[in-house]
């Protein structure tokens, strides 16, 4: 049984890209692999792409799919062991998880960082309970610290569009009115660090990510300088990670919005974003609508990413 919670579990990158290419070119080749197997997708948070692309991937593999939005129709779940359950939560995760495990063969979980306690988030408290108590292979559909299916899709997209063996990838922070998790940037950094690409991360001071994910990436506080000669601009907002500022919005400075002046500093870079994206906060209309914007092929590759990973999980059953 295998779980998939981090892009570092993808195995040999070249082989992973080859498997993804095969899946993309032959989406229905494994229709029998998932026969009579059930995927249960559990959402603690909203989703458009992950929900649709993962379901489509499972259907391409011949699986049955059940989707449960915990906040719409399920019992509100207590997550703390030892809690006296006299409040508004009628069920405990410690029963709910093994019960869910009884009804499926594979479980996908979306459970964002809650920003209540950094240790709980960074120890992946919810995701790890699914792994421990469900008795089934579990994969992340974005957990507190990582979004590996997004990262794999991003990496497949870069592989498809790159014009150089060692492109310059720039991940840039951009403004957003709400506090967003670090899962996408952490995971993207973790993925790019598996490659030999040139990798620069740019953000305002105070937005430093956990060095465990950023590794040897160059941190450049001057966004213009970071953009110079870039082949890919990967934009994303995240809330602060450091110390007492964990989960806080420290800046909404629209000087950091990706616009055409900044894109002109690059080597005709492609623009990427995992979506959903707030226009004219993260990126201007003209940049996201430009021919260099590859956000839609990037989203399309979410099916390829999910199908490649689900196929491996099915093969391991
Ligand atoms: C989420 C995030 O930033 O983690 C999901 C992105 C895939 N975004 C929002 O909540 C807007
Ligand atoms: N990129 C992504 O995961 O989108 P959703 O939140 O819509 O699933």
pLDDT (mean) for 92-99 = 98
Q: Report the alpha-carbon distance of residue 159 to residue 58 in Å, rounded.
A: 24
Residue 245 lies in a domain: yes
Same domain for 235 and 141: no
Same domain for 191 and 106: no
Does ligand 1 have an atom closer than 6 angstroms to the CB of 175? no
Q: Of all residues in the chain, what percent carry a pLDDT higher than 70?
A: 100
Same domain for 169 and 127: no
Q: Is the pLDDT of residue 99 over 80?
A: yes
| Collapsed DSSP state (helix, strand, coil) of residue 259 | coil
Residue 2 lies in a domain: no
Does ligand 2 have an atom closer than 6 angstroms to the CB of 47? yes
Does ligand 1 have an atom closer than 6 angstroms to the CB of 177? no
Does ligand 1 have an atom closer than 6 angstroms to the CB of 314? no
Same domain for 276 and 161: yes
Residue 1 lies in a domain: no
Q: Is the pLDDT of residue 184 over 90?
A: yes
Does ligand 1 have an atom closer than 6 angstroms to the CB of 153? no
Counted domains in the chain: 2
Residue 15 lies in a domain: yes
Burial class (CB in 10 A: 0-12, 13-18, 19+), 68: middle
Same domain for 277 and 312: no
Same domain for 166 and 119: no
Q: Report the alpha-carbon distance of residue 17 to residue 166 in Å, rounded.
A: 16
Name the residue at shortest CA distance from atom 11 of ligand 1.
Answer: 276
Does ligand 1 have an atom closer than 6 angstroms to the CB of 108? no
Same domain for 136 and 77: yes
Residue 218 lies in a domain: yes
Same domain for 39 and 127: yes
Q: Report the alpha-carbon distance of residue 32 to residue 118 in Å, rounded.
A: 42
pLDDT (mean) for 35-52 = 98
Token digits of residue 252: 């909404």
Among all bound ligands, the one having the nearest atom to the CA of 47 is 2
Token digits of residue 50: 């992950």
Distance 147 CA to ligand 2 centre (A): 9
Token digits of residue 296: 């839609």
Indicate the pLDDT class of residue 11, thresholds 50, 70 and 90: very high
Same domain for 288 and 184: yes
Q: Is the pLDDT of residue 1 over 70?
A: no
Full domain range(s) for residue 182: 150-298
pLDDT tens for each residue of 187-208:
999 999 999 999 999 999 999 9
Does ligand 2 have an atom closer than 6 angstroms to the CB of 54? no
| Collapsed DSSP state (helix, strand, coil) of residue 173 | strand
pLDDT tens for each residue of 248-275:
999 999 999 999 999 999 999 999 999 9
Average model confidence (pLDDT) across the chain: 98
Q: What pLDDT sits at residue 171?
A: 99
Q: Of all residues in the chain, what percent carry a pLDDT higher than 90?
A: 99
CA distances from 84 to 78, 90, 91, 126, 186 (A): 10, 11, 11, 19, 35
Q: Report the alpha-carbon distance of residue 111 to residue 105 in Å, rounded.
A: 19
Same domain for 294 and 154: yes
Q: What pLDDT sits at residue 255?
A: 98
Distance 237 CA to ligand 1 centre (A): 9
Does ligand 2 have an atom closer than 6 angstroms to the CB of 305? no
> In the beta sheet, which residues pair with residue 69?
43
Same domain for 75 and 159: no
Same domain for 237 and 156: yes
End-to-end CA distance of the chain: 6
| Collapsed DSSP state (helix, strand, coil) of residue 146 | coil
Check which CATH number belongs to the domain holding 113 and give it: 3.40.50.1370
pLDDT tens for each residue of 275-303:
999 999 999 999 999 999 999 999 999 99
Local structure of residue 251 (DSSP, 8 states): -
Residue whose CB lies within 8 A of the most ligand 2 atoms, among 47, 156, 186, for a mutation test: 47
Among all bound ligands, the one having the nearest atom to the CA of 53 is 2
Reported for 213-217, long-range contacts at CB under 8 A and 24+ positions apart, including other chains, are 213/145, 213/182, 213/185, 213/186, 213/187, 213/189, 214/189, 215/189, 215/190, 217/171, 217/189, 217/192, 217/193
């Amino acid at each position: 049984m295998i779980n998939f919670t981090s892009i570092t579990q993808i195995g040999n990158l070249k082989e992973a890209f080859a498997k993804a290419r095969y899946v993309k070119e032959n989406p229905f080749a494994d229709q029998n692999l998932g026969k009579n197997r059930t995927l249960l997708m559990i959402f603690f948070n909203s989703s458009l792409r992950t929900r649709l692309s993962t379901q489509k991937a499972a259907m391409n593999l011949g699986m049955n799919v059940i989707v449960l939005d915990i906040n719409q129709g399920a019992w509100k779940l207590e997550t703390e062991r030892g809690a006296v359950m006299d409040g508004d939560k009628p069920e405990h995760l410690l029963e709910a998880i093994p019960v869910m495990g009884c009804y499926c063969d594979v479980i996908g979980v979306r459970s964002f960082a809650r920003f209540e306690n950094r240790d709980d988030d960074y120890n992946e408290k919810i995701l790890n309970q699914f792994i421990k108590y469900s008795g089934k292979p579990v994969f992340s559909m974005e957990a507190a610290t990582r979004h590996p299916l997004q990262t794999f899709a991003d990496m497949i997209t870069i592989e498809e569009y790159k014009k150089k063996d060692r492109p310059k990838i720039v991940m840039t922070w951009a403004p957003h009115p709400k506090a967003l998790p670090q899962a996408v940037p952490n995971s993207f950094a973790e993925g790019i660090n598996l490659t030999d690409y040139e990798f620069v991360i740019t953000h305002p001071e105070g937005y430093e990510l956990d060095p465990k994910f950023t590794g040897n990436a160059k941190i450049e506080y001057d966004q213009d300088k970071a953009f110079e000669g870039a082949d890919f601009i990967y934009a994303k907002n995240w809330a602060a990670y450091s110390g007492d500022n964990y989960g806080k919005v420290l800046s909404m400075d629209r000087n950091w919005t990706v616009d055409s002046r900044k894109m002109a500093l690059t080597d005709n870079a492609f623009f990427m974003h995992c979506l959903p994206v707030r226009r004219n906060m993260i990126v201007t209309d003209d940049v996201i609508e430009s021919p260099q914007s590859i956000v839609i092929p990037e989203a399309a590759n979410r099916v390829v990413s999910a199908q490649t990973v689900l196929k491996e999980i099915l093969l391991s059953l």
